[in-house]
């Protein structure tokens, strides 16, 4: 069974295993031929590469979760958002093209899946559409994340502050609330409200992971070669090492969940069918 999702999750788990192995060796205070400081940097490098591979595997999921509910509700409200909708669709299709072309995914995005994919611009276009339908709070969050992803690098303080901001943001629930105000006769309001509340928690978790991945980019690129670090890069890696437990716990949690999916043949078959359907759609629509 082979598809983009499978291959990148498998690679991510391998990178995570290496990081955990180095962590265990450091905790046992073994005697090393190398400098423990260098091993710390190499460890967070593998942690970063695990994170970036998970994001590559989840690019379509990110895009669809951020885009489909917004598009559906925008059309449901009959808001005149044709231009914003078409711009969002165009960027989403670009992201899908990247995802379904593994060579392009490796060459173009490399160690920067959170920032050099089409994801930041997809989020910016989603924010534009959200504003047009009156959902200002999630629009602000999407735009904020989009700008952060396009930065050269970010500090842990930025990650921390943005995570707090995200935790206070309602996404689909706010969009639904706006829709409900205009359609008070809607059925199953309680069930829909619960579903959107749960979906919001999922979006918050995905955005958290995107932030961690962006934060780790410097480690992915530079951590394997400690001897060549500039003073600024070394300080950035020391900061990552300082906060690595929180980050590793987060990545481990995602890794365990995705490992379960890798062992589900039916799920993988559905993913493969979906990828093939997307490729066919792109080939026939242009």
Tell which wins on pLDDT, 8 or 158.
158
Q: What is the pLDDT of residues 16-55, one digit of tens each?
A: 999 999 998 888 876 666 788 888 999 999 999 999 889 8
173/169 Cα distance (integer angstroms): 10
Number of domains in the chain: 1
DSSP 263: T
pLDDT higher than threshold 60 for residue 1? no
Contact between residue 45 and residue 219 where contact means Cβ atoms under 8 Å apart: yes
pLDDT higher than threshold 60 for residue 283? no
Half-sphere exposure of 285 (CA within 13 A, CB side): 11
User: For residues 216-229, b (16+ Cβ closer than 10 Å) or e, as one string?
Assistant: bbbbbbbbeebeeb
- Closest residue by Cα to residue 159 from 218, 99, 221, 88: 218
pLDDT (0 to 100) of residue 218: 92
Q: What is the pLDDT of residues 128-163, one digit of tens each?
A: 888 887 778 888 999 999 999 999 889 999 999 999
Domain around 212 = 4-285
pTM beyond cutoff 0.85:
no
pLDDT higher than threshold 90 for residue 165? yes
The mean pLDDT value for 222-233 works out to 89
50/16 Cα distance (integer angstroms): 5
The mean pLDDT value for 3-14 works out to 87
Q: What is the pLDDT of residues 80-103, one digit of tens each?
A: 777 887 888 788 778 777 777 777
């Amino acid at each position: 069974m082979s598809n983009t999702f499978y291959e990148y999750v498998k690679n991510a788990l391998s990178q995570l295993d290496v990081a955990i192995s180095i962590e265990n060796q450091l905790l046992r205070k073994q005697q090393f031929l190398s400098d423990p400081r260098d091993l710390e940097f190499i460890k967070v490098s593998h942690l970063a590469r695990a994170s970036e591979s998970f994001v590559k595997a989840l690019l379509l999921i990110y895009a669809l979760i951020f885009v489909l509910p917004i598009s559906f509700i925008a059309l449901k409200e009959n808001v005149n958002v044709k231009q914003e909708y078409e711009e969002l669709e165009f960027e989403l299709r670009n992201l899908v093209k990247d995802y379904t072309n593994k060579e392009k995914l490796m060459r173009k995005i490399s160690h920067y899946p959170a920032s050099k994919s089409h994801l930041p611009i997809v989020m910016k276009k989603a924010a534009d559409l959200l504003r047009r339908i009156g959902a200002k709070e999630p629009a602000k969050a999407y735009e904020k994340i989009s700008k952060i992803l396009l930065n050269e690098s970010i500090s842990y303080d930025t990650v921390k502050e943005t995570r707090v901001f995200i935790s206070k943001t309602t996404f689909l629930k706010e969009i639904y609330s706006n829709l409900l105000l205009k359609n008070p006769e809607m059925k199953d309001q309680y069930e829909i409200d619960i579903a959107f509340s749960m979906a919001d928690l999922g979006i918050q978790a995905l955005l958290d992971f995107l932030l961690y991945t962006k934060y780790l980019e410097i480690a992915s690129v530079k951590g394997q070669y400690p001897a060549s670090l500039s003073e600024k890069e070394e300080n950035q890696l020391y900061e990552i090492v300082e906060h690595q437990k929180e980050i590793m716990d987060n990545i481990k949690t995602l890794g365990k969940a995705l490992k379960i999916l890798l062992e589900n043949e039916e799920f993988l078959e559905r993913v493969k069918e979906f990828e093939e359907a997307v490729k066919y759609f792109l080939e026939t629509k242009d």
